Amino acid sequence: MARIGVFICHCGENISATVDCGRVAETIGKLKHVAYSTEYKYMCSDPGQTLIKDAIKEYKLTGIVVSACSPRMHEPTFRKAAAEAGLNPYLCEMANLREHCSWVHEKNDMTTEKAIDIVRILVEKVKINNALLPIKVPVTKTALVIGGGIAGIQSALDIANTGHKVILVERSPSIGGHMSQLSETFPTLDCSQCILTPRMVEVAQHPNITLYTYSEVESLDGFIGNFTVKIRKKARSIDEKDCTGCGLCTTKCPQKKIPNEFEEGMGFRPAIYTPFPQAVPNKPVIDREHCTYYIKGKCKVCEIVCPTKAIRFDQPDQILEIQIGAIVIATGFDIKRTDFFPEYGFGKYKDVIDGLQFERLASASGPTGGAILRPSDGVVPKNIVFVACAGSRDPAKGIAYCSKICCMYTAKHAMLYKHKVHEGKAHVFYMDIRSAGKNYDEFVRRAIEEDYVNYIRGRVSTIYECDGKLIVKGVDTLLGAQPLEIVADMVVLATAGVANSGAEELAQKLHVSYDSHKFFAEAHPKLKPVETNTAGIFLAGACQNPKDIPDSVSQASGAAVKVAALFSQNELTREPLVAFVNRCSPPLYSTCVGCFLCQSVCPYQAIEREEFKNRDGKTIKTVAKINEGLCQGCGTCVALCRSKSIDLHGYTNNQMYTEVMALLNVY
């Protein structure tokens, strides 16, 4: 016989101000099978929990309903209290009297009636609840970090330093990401390479990190603690063990005019190349698309000159299969290029460049050796215009969000320009200056006050060429909305930060969600910014949204802690609120008819096949089986199953039906 206890919480005045808690407790107490019913000011407090625990013992309760706030808030609290009193935690239910009742209604009888109804249906439900046991799954204590930008580097190092193995996969020939392209960094103007390269080297030398560059994730199977990843190691066309990184081959390659990606197209590279001098690993790769040998069938100059005979023209791609327990996605971002802006010349004006191109111009290791020279004719621009929010915050361009980093790097660019071209004039067109961050606004003020950068609040409508100059037409909205024309020598567009190429495909391979802009989606915008909604997969850096280096690094360390916490356990415990396919005795085995329609709808690939064999080993029936490690308990399969063979622990059809019937007063 069920003996149910009901605990009505006032939540201070949050509930009691509109609901007559005393009447609820009294009415519920008269229900059949309710052995105890009471009210209290704060159930979640220590005395509140003690009250519950004592009642469970004293009245030998077989189930409890805590009628308080949202289960999102305190279900774990009360289930834990129940367990401490010896009651299976899944025999504790919460009735949400706050969000579902007191907060949304006025104080009157009907509100109290509704509260009674809410509690009543849960009393009926908890009567038929089953005791459930948590699910245990083993953990493979190796992490996969995808993307070797500063975020991926930081995550990999942090995880490796906790003593766990890390596989770092980077698709380009070197790690470093966009940070390796930057000249100096806001808000301190320290040299990007100088703070980054030591970390890159640390990654390469760390005993716990295995680095696969020029590699990509091919596929992913499994679930938290137990993933299997396939990695495609693209053919570098050299033997990394034999190559000493002397670079002789790169100087002799006859293909010399391939646009250099690292220099953002403002320089050239050969077909066999290392992306930049500090690359990690410092070993070249043959770009087969542009190599004379792969195009015409002959050349092999690099093979001839290589002193250690390390060139391998016939090297195939390699597929590696690795067991891992957790994943950090750190694939970064990209920016819109100038060709996205028809109004600013559609990419056809050579002297209208984007922010990364400016970084390369300003970089001591860049194509101009750090001199600000305009690309068309190599002349020092006397008048330079920076356009913030190019594309960002512009719904007409399909990018309604703020790219967050450009206000800051625009101030930095204007400053760097003024430091290098003292007599030059720098103008910045902006919408708002968004410089929230430690020492950030001070940095922008410095650009304005100490470097005399001319900040103009207004947008640029068009840019066009006339007599070798760029005419920038805009408006100054602070000076009576006056139209304004600046005759410039060079224009830098702070183009919108966007999702990296291939982000969507990767998200689909990993089964994680992404937003409408193809940025990876966090599990909760506030409380789970590092998690994805796939257990065991975490986010770091600008793959989630455009971020600066400090934010990327903090999140990367956050993700590392999440991985370390996961790896601190030998077994994982999961909530048992998962689906199950019924089983019965042979010859039926299950009412499941094996149509596997459920397999096609499960968003988490959690449905497997189970075969029943006779003594001869012949399969006599194949039915669906839920992988408890993967199932997230969404219930989609339950709704779909035509033979009603699937049900959800904790929310069975019968429990739901009982609640509805209770509401209709059938009981």
Partner 1 sequence: MKIGIYPGCSLNGSARDYNESVFAIAKVFDIELVQIPDWNCCGATAAHNLNKELSLALPARILALAEQNGLDEVLVPCAACYSRLVVTQHELKVEPEIKNRIKKVIELDYRGTTKILNVIEWLDKYIIPGIEEKLVLPFKHKVACYYGCLLVRPNKVLNYDRSEDPQTMDEVMRKIGADPIYFPYKTECCGAGFSVSRTDIVSKLSGKIIEDAEHRGAEFMIVACPMCHSNLDMRRPDINQYFKTKFTLPILFVTQALGLAVGLSPKEVGLQRHFVPVNIDS
Ligand X SMILES: Cc1cc2nc3c(=O)[nH]c(=O)nc-3n(C[C@H](O)[C@H](O)[C@H](O)COP(=O)(O)OP(=O)(O)OC[C@H]3O[C@@H](n4cnc5c(N)ncnc54)[C@H](O)[C@@H]3O)c2cc1C
In the complex, the residues that contact partner 1 under the rule CB under 8 A are 341-343, 346, 396, 462, 464-466, 471
- CB atoms under 10 Å from CB of 639, counted, come to 12
492 contacts 387 by C-beta, under 8 angstroms: yes
d(CA 128, CA 107): 33
Q: How far is CA 416 from CA 186, 248, 405, 424, 547, in A?
A: 11, 35, 16, 11, 21
d(CA 408, CA 185): 10
Question: Measured from the CB of residue 346, what is the shortest distance to partner 1 in angstroms?
Answer: 6
- CB atoms under 10 Å from CB of 647, counted, come to 19
Report the half-sphere exposure of 315 (CA within 13 A, side-chain side).
19
- With binding defined as CB under 6 A, does residue 146 bind ligand X? yes
Smaller CB separation from partner 1, 113 or 465:
465
- With binding defined as CB under 6 A, does residue 178 bind ligand X? yes
Helices (H), 427-529: 440-449, 503-510
Question: Measured from the CB of residue 539, what is the shortest distance to ligand SF4 in angstroms?
Answer: 20
Among 151, 306, 447, 662, binds ligand X (CB under 6 A): 151
Smaller CB separation from ligand SF4, 380 or 577:
577
Q: List beta partners, residue 6.
A: 37, 65
- With binding defined as CB under 6 A, does residue 592 bind ligand SF4? no
Helices (H), 439-518: 440-449, 503-510
249 contacts 302 by C-beta, under 8 angstroms: yes
Among 74, 141, 164, 171, binds ligand X (CB under 6 A): 171
Question: Measured from the CB of residue 337, what is the shortest distance to partner 1 in angstroms?
Answer: 16
With CB under 5 to 8 Å by kind, the binding choice for 331 among ligand X, ligand SF4, partner 1, none is: ligand X
Question: Measured from the CB of residue 487, what is the shortest distance to partner 1 in angstroms?
Answer: 13
Please report where in the chains the tokens 């967050």 appear, as a residue.
Answer: 404
- The string of DSSP letters for 537-569 reads EEE-GGGSS---HHHHHHHHHHHHHHHHHHHT-
Q: Which stretch binds ligand X (CB under 6 A): 43-51, 119-127, 468-476, 545-553?
A: 545-553
With CB under 5 to 8 Å by kind, the binding choice for 466 among partner 1, ligand X, ligand SF4, none is: partner 1
With CB under 5 to 8 Å by kind, the binding choice for 232 among ligand SF4, partner 1, ligand X, none is: none
Smaller CB separation from ligand SF4, 41 or 397:
397
Beta strands in 407-519 (DSSP E): 425-430, 454-457, 460-466, 469-476, 482-488, 490-495, 497-499
Peptide bond into 529 cis (omega under 30): no
With CB under 5 to 8 Å by kind, the binding choice for 471 among partner 1, ligand X, ligand SF4, none is: partner 1
- With binding defined as CB under 6 A, does residue 602 bind ligand SF4? yes
With CB under 5 to 8 Å by kind, the binding choice for 636 among ligand SF4, partner 1, ligand X, none is: ligand SF4
Question: Measured from the CB of residue 169, what is the shortest distance to ligand X in angstroms?
Answer: 5
Smaller CB separation from ligand X, 63 or 355:
355
- With binding defined as CB under 6 A, does residue 494 bind ligand SF4? yes
- With binding defined as CB under 6 A, does residue 636 bind ligand SF4? yes
Smaller CB separation from ligand SF4, 24 or 543:
543
Question: Count residues contacting ligand X (CB under 6 A)?
Answer: 40
Peptide bond into 587 cis (omega under 30): yes
Binding mask 357-396 for ligand X (x = CB under 6 A): --x-------------------------------------
Q: Which stretch binds ligand X (CB under 6 A): 147-155, 240-248, 283-291, 630-638?
A: 147-155
d(CA 397, CA 83): 55
- Within positions 191 to 220, which residues make up the interface with ligand X, using CB under 6 A? 216
Question: Measured from the CB of residue 157, what is the shortest distance to ligand X in angstroms?
Answer: 13
d(CA 40, CA 430): 56
With CB under 5 to 8 Å by kind, the binding choice for 632 among ligand X, ligand SF4, partner 1, none is: ligand SF4
589 contacts 563 by C-beta, under 8 angstroms: no
d(CA 444, CA 186): 10
- Within positions 338 to 397, which residues make up the interface with ligand SF4, using CB under 6 A? 388-389, 392-393
| Cα 335-517-325 angle, rounded to 5 deg | 95
Please report where in the chains the tokens 């070797």 appear, as a residue.
Answer: 148
Peptide bond into 483 cis (omega under 30): no
Task: Give the residue from 291, 161, 308, 172 showing the smallest Cα distance to 240.
Answer: 308
Pairing assessment for the beta strands 268-269 and 258-259 based on DSSP bridges? antiparallel
117 contacts 523 by C-beta, under 8 angstroms: no
d(CA 514, CA 521): 5
Smaller CB separation from partner 1, 138 or 398:
398
Question: Measured from the CB of residue 604, what is the shortest distance to ligand SF4 in angstroms?
Answer: 4
List interacting residues with ligand SF4 (CB under 6 A): 388-389, 392-393, 402-407, 431-432, 434, 494, 578-579, 602, 604, 606-607, 626, 631-637
List interacting residues with ligand X (CB under 6 A): 146-152, 169-172, 177-179, 182, 185-186, 216, 330-333, 335, 355-356, 359, 405, 409, 412, 500, 502, 506, 541-543, 547-550, 552
